[in-house]
Amino acid sequence: EIVLTQSPATLSLSPGERATLSCRASQSVSTYLAWYQQRPGQAPRLLIYDASNRATGIPARFSGSGSGTDFTLTISSLEAEDFALYYCQQRSDVYSFGQGTKLEIK
């Protein structure tokens, strides 16, 4: 089973700042990694697939990078609606999710 570890658990930033979220896999997942955003009371939404590809309708301020075991989700300039939970997910060995990073307003 591939374990995904996200850091930090909570990230406190202000609107307009840059956010950097990390996801580390217990073994290589190549680029089979996705990022999801979940706002309170809502279902998750796909942001990034295959490590660096933005999903349809996702703003350009969201970007993903990495391969193998280390991945990053970057939000270049935070907007109010970006404060939410973020999960990474691998599809290299069936599926698993990271435990999540809460992005909160400072």
Partner 1 sequence: EVQLVESGGGLVKPGGSLRLSCAASGFSFSPFAINWVRQAPGKGLEWVSSISRNSDYIYYADSVKGRFTISRDDAKNSVYLQMNILTAEDTAIYYCARVFPRIADRGSFDVWGQGTMVTVSS
The residues binding partner 1 (CB under 8 A) are 1, 34, 36, 38, 43-46, 49-50, 55-56, 87, 89, 91, 94-100
CA-CA distances (angstroms) from residue 86 to 74, 92, 94?
A: 11, 19, 20
Nearest to partner 1 of 55, 84 (CB atom):
55
State the minimum distance, in angstroms, from the CB of residue 60 to partner 1: 18
Outline where DSSP puts E strands in 3-69. 4-7, 10-13, 19-25, 33-38, 45-49, 53-54, 62-67
State the minimum distance, in angstroms, from the CB of residue 56 to partner 1: 8
State the minimum distance, in angstroms, from the CB of residue 97 to partner 1: 4
